[in-house]
Amino acid sequence: MGELPLPPLALYVHLPWCERKCPYCDFNSHESRNLPETAYIDSLLADLEADLPFVQGRVIQTLFIGGGTPSLFSAAGIGRLMQGIGQRVALADALEATLEANPGSAEAEKFAGFRAAGINRLSLGIQSFQNEQLAALGRVHDSDQAHAAVAAARRAGFQRINLDLMHGLPAQGASAAMADLATASGYQTGHLSWYQLTIEQNTVFYKQPPILPVEDVLADIQDAGEIQLAAAGLEQYEVSAWAAAGEQCRHNLNYWQFGDYLGIGAGAHGKVSFSDGRIMRYAKRRQPDAYLAAAGDWRVQSQWLTDAEKPGEYMLNALRLNSGFALADYAARTGLPPSTLQPALDTLTARGLLLQEGTRVRASALGRRFLDSVITEFLA
């Protein structure tokens, strides 16, 4: 096998603190009102320097600051972080730089500062525009603040805004879910993330389960929502993402297309490819205090993917996209011939779960409904 072209490279930055842990959240987030902002940014930049050998001459195409609630950091702190990143790695001229933000009024006051710092895409964790639902989810903002945050983002100069919404909420019916979608799409931000509430382990909801809509109601919400979003001019391009033309989240697309990404910050994950076909996944220390004290020893887990694992890893990502993938891209990203997929492809196509269209493969409408089962066929 000759040398493989390296895939595009992105950067994920994790800021793990939040004002209050939501009862459904299983992300690496920790309640704190006293952020060690300066020390943490110092650690982030040193962590990035340690990962520089993984860059391999590439330019960072997209950057995503997630959490936690990154908007708890000051605008000056985000500016210092962005400047420090730019001093250590080459950033694309058309860099997409996303920051997750809470709709609370204190955070909204910082939006202009975030924009001046180089953030050009804001992802607002709205979840619902209805106070009853927000209270059930344990959110710290209310409906008025949700509306105000969208307006504040626009005043701050953000032309690219994602609104994050959930459905299948406690006691939520189809009409309430559609009202949220109508409100969100009415803002015409160009991008919506819309996904069903799931109960995960290690959450308050797992220990004290709320009463959620029954399966028939959930199916009605999903069907009606897809129709409503399409009527609003938004196309579903990924399992839980809808966008106007040209407004897809490029950072997430890089994940689903099996691109590479550096991960810095407490609990951050990364994936790095090498021209000889090797692929490594890694993770950083999860607990913020341990991460801050690591002083050069941030990486705690590294895994080299075996050839047997690569098909499943690739399909776990690529089949999330409604457009699927090209067989040539599979070969370029994994170093394996498409024939390694063919037996499972043929079986799933015969069952109506996949569509093979020339040299492209994608999940059918039925396959998207049972995507977890489809992907299982490729796992080692």
Domain ranges of the chain: 9-254, 307-380
Structure tokens at 265: 């910050």
The closest of 275, 146, 138, 152 to 197, measured between CA atoms, is 138
pLDDT for 140 equals: 79
Tokens read off for 223:
């069907």
Could you give the CA distance from residue 60 to residue 38 in angstroms, rounded to a whole number? Answer: 24
Structure tokens at 288: 């913020």
CA atoms within a 13 Å half-sphere pointing along the CA-CB vector of 318: 25
Place of tokens 């000051």: 74
Using DSSP's 3-state secondary structure scheme, residue 341 falls into: coil
Buried b / exposed e over 272-294, threshold 16 CB at 10 Å, is: bbbeebebebbbbbbebeebbeb
| DSSP category for residue 361 | E
- The whole-angstrom distance between residue 115's C-alpha and the CA centroid of its chain comes to 20
Across the chain, mean pLDDT equals: 93
Give SS3 for 53: helix
Q: What is the pLDDT of residue 206?
A: 72
Task: Name the nearest CA neighbour of 113 among 159, 79, 137, 164.
Answer: 79
Q: What is the CATH number of domain 9-254?
A: 3.20.20.70
Which residue type does 348 have?
A: L
**Any idea which fold 307-380 has?**
Arc Repressor Mutant, subunit A (1.10.10)
Question: Can you give the pLDDT at residue 25?
Answer: 64
CA distances from 142 to 99, 159, 182 (A): 21, 24, 18
Q: Which helix (H) or strand (E) holds 154?
A: helix 143-155
| Global pTM value | 0.94
Alpha-carbon distance 292 to 42, whole Å?
9
Strands 360-363 and 325-326: antiparallel
Q: Is the Cβ–Cβ distance between 163 and 214 less than 8 Å? A: no
Q: Alpha-carbon distance 169 to 374, whole Å?
A: 27
Question: For position 139, what pLDDT does the model report?
Answer: 82
Instruction: Give me the residues of the chain with pLDDT under 70, please.
Output: 1, 20-30, 105, 205
Return the number of other C-beta atoms located less than 10 Å from residue 315's C-beta: 26
The amino acid at 299: R
Q: Provide the CA 69 distance to its chain's centre, in angstroms.
A: 14
Max Cα–Cα distance, the chain, nearest Å? 59
Residue 258 is predicted with a pLDDT of 98
List of E strands, the chain: 9-15, 17-18, 30-31, 60-67, 91-101, 121-127, 160-167, 190-196, 235-238, 241-243, 260-265, 269-273, 279-284, 299-304, 325-326, 354-357, 360-363
Closest CA to 30 of 289, 319, 213, 211: 289
Specify the DSSP element, H or E, that contains 308.
Answer: none
Q: Which two tokens stand for residue 195?
A: 């996904």
> Under a CB-based contact definition with an 8 Å cutoff, are residues 146 and 103 in contact?
yes
